[in-house]
């Protein structure tokens, strides 16, 4: 799970994983909230269900999951970073959610729940931190704790669709090609559109998948400015260290008044994928 390149991505939490610190997690959610919630709405959760938020981060999805399951439902959440789990639990208490909610620190690879505990599981922006072997183990764990006939929904970022303007249209593609040449975080961010295959291999049935493009046009919202300028700066540092295009220097300083995202034609996009499957009623 922790590959040697994570320190290069920055914004690490106590886990050492890049982009898991609460500041960047919250910024990303705020920037993409509308379409994130549209994907959550397509996961197929229903009132009265007990849903596991597997990799809840700082709890941004908790009020929306609670609204979907209603007062007769229940939400349980875990995150690998203890400080994120504590923050999510505190927020859940402050928000006074409409259903019982429990949050704790735990690993997706060793869930602390009996078999068939949940009706469904939601896993957002989390499997990007797992290599293929760990992903298979995590899916097996999720299938163990979700009852037969229950739903497993995974949402994650697809790095193939990241691009910015004004800039070389291949700038980000070239970076991810170079950074993804070796096993590590970049390669896992490029795997997202293969999630349906991994769900099928794990034994899930009725697997469906949808990829969407999340776009931000100038003038970018403050939330989009906060996240994407910080994220681009981290990529720029890596790209320049790899000897890639000097164009990356334009993205290196979020405060630069000539930053491309402040251009009248500024634009940035990312991809997101929702993969959903059903836990089989036969033994898995």
What one-character-per-residue DSSP string does 123-174 give?
A: EES-GGGS-HHHHHHHHHHHHHHEEEEEEEEEEEEEEEEEEEESS-TTHHHH
Each residue's pLDDT tens digit, 3-49: 677 888 999 999 999 999 999 999 999 999 999 999 999 999 999 99
φ, ψ (nearest 5 deg) of residue 203: 110, 0
- List CB contacts of 259: < 8 A, sequence separation 6 or more: 229, 250, 251, 253
Q: What domains lie within the chain, and their CATH numbers?
A: 9-160+181-214+270-278 (3.40.50.150)
- Cis peptide leading into residue 166 (ω within 30°): yes
Q: Which two tokens stand for residue 157?
A: 């970022």
Average pLDDT, integer, range 133-155? 98
**Distance between CA 13 and CA 20 in Å, rounded?**
5
**Helix 171-179 × helix 222-241 angle, to 10°:** 50
Q: What order of strands is seen across the sheet that includes strand 205-217? A: 101-105, 74-79, 50-54, 118-124, 146-165, 267-278, 205-217
- How many whole angstroms separate alpha carbon 164 and alpha carbon 247? 12
- Cα 271 to chain centroid distance, Å, stands at 11
Q: What is the pLDDT of residue 7?
A: 84
Least confident of 7-16, 56-65, 82-91: 7-16
| pLDDT band at 1; cut points 50, 70, 90 | low
pLDDT bracket for residue 284 (50, 70, 90): very low
| Mean per-residue pLDDT, 177-185 | 94
Residues shown for the chain: 284
Q: What is the CB neighbour count within 10 angstroms for residue 255?
A: 7
Per the listing, tokens 């995974």 go with: 154
Which of 131, 116, 109 is closest to 54 using CA atoms?
109
């Amino acid at each position: 799970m922790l590959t040697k390149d994570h320190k290069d991505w920055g914004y690490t939490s106590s886990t050492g994983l890049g982009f898991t610190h609460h500041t960047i997690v919250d910024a990303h959610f705020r920037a993409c909230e509308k379409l994130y919630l549209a994907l959550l709405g397509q996961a197929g959760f229903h009132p009265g269900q007990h849903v596991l938020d597997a990799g809840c981060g700082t709890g941004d999805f908790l009020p929306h999951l609670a609204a979907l399951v209603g007062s007769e439902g229940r939400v349980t959440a875990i995150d690998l970073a203890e400080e994120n789990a504590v923050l999510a639990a505190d927020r859940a208490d402050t928000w006074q959610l409409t259903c019982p909610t429990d949050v704790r620190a735990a690993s997706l690879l060793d869930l602390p729940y009996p078999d068939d505990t949940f009706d469904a599981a939601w896993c957002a922006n989390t499997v990007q931190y797992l290599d293929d072997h760990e992903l298979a183990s995590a899916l097996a764990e999720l299938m163990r704790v979700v009852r037969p006939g229950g739903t497993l929904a995974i949402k994650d970022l697809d790095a193939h669709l990241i691009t910015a303007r004004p800039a070389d249209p291949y700038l980000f593609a070239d970076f991810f090609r170079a950074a993804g040449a070796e096993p590590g975080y970049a390669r896992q961010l490029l795997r997202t559109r293969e999630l349906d295959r991994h769900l099928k291999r794990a034994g899930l049935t009725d697997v469906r998948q949808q990829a969407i493009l999340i776009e931000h046009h100038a003038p970018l919202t403050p939330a989009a400015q906060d996240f994407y300028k910080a994220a681009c700066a981290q990529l720029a540092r890596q790209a320049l260290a790899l000897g890639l295009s000097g164009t990356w220097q334009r993205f290196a300083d979020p405060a630069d008044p000539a930053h491309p995202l402040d251009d009248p034609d500024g634009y940035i996009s990312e991809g997101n994928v929702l993969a959903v499957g059903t836990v089989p009623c036969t033994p898995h």
